Amino acid sequence: SSAAVLTEYRGLDVASTAELRRALTNAGGEYKVYKNTLVRIAARDLGLELDDLLTGPTAIAFVTGDAVSVAKALQDFAKTNPALVVKGGLLGEQVIDEAGVKALADLEPREVLLAKLAGLMAAPMQQMANLLEALPRNFAYGLKALIDQGGAPGAPADAPAAAEDEAPAADAEAEAPAPEAEADAPAEDTPAEAPAAAADTDTDQAEESADTEKES
């Protein structure tokens, strides 16, 4: 047994004692009556000092399950049966007084404490699981948003650069006809020079005709 509660049962009748035994059995305890001398000898053999608790008739509630549940059962029974007096007890190797037993009874049962402990341990694990689950989900949402926007935020900034690259090409095309115009210019000048050459030829022919007439 990991714990035991020493009580004084003086004044309890047989029916009340039987009721107490049933309550303790249901709570995970076992209720037995011992002579103080035997309890004192056994305690000393274990290195425990229980003399202050061994006054009056003594019955011990040994804990076979949850110490809190047994302490609660004793405390609840004592509320309706004042003849039952809780004197103190053992918790592990520590001797506790009546106040210690009451404090033990005020605790929540072992099952409740374990459930709360499991909840405290599970909460961070659940948060971590939610975080790990949210990472790919948030990434997918972000990727979809970027696709809907037409790409990453830096992508639109590159568009003007592409437009600038296209601008010189447009300018080159606009300037392309200029050489053709320059090439046509000499063609227009050639006919203008042709009459001048023809005029010189006519002058020479006129001079030759004049000379011929003089010789005649």
What is the chain's pLDDT, residue by residue, as a tens digit (216 residues)?
678 999 998 889 999 999 999 999 999 999 999 899 999 888 888 888 888 899 889 999 999 888 899 999 999 999 999 999 999 999 888 899 999 999 989 887 666 666 766 766 666 666 655 655 554 445 454 555 655 666 555 544 444 444 445 545 445 454 555 444 444 444 444 444 444 444 454 555 555 554 555 544
- Please report, for the chain, the start and end positions of each structural domain, with discontinuous segments joined by +: 3-107, 109-175
pLDDT at 157 (0 to 100): 47
Q: 144 is written with which tokens?
A: 């979809």
Distance CA 128, CA 148 (A): 30
Closest by alpha carbon to 58, among 37, 43, 44, 42?
A: 37
pLDDT at 93 (0 to 100): 82
Q: 133 is written with which tokens?
A: 């689950």
- How far out from the chain centre does Cα 147 lie? 27
pLDDT at 102 (0 to 100): 92
CATH class belonging to 3-107: alpha beta
pLDDT at 131 (0 to 100): 52
pLDDT at 216 (0 to 100): 43
pLDDT at 189 (0 to 100): 46
CA distances from 13 to 23, 24, 55, 93, 96 (A): 15, 17, 19, 32, 27
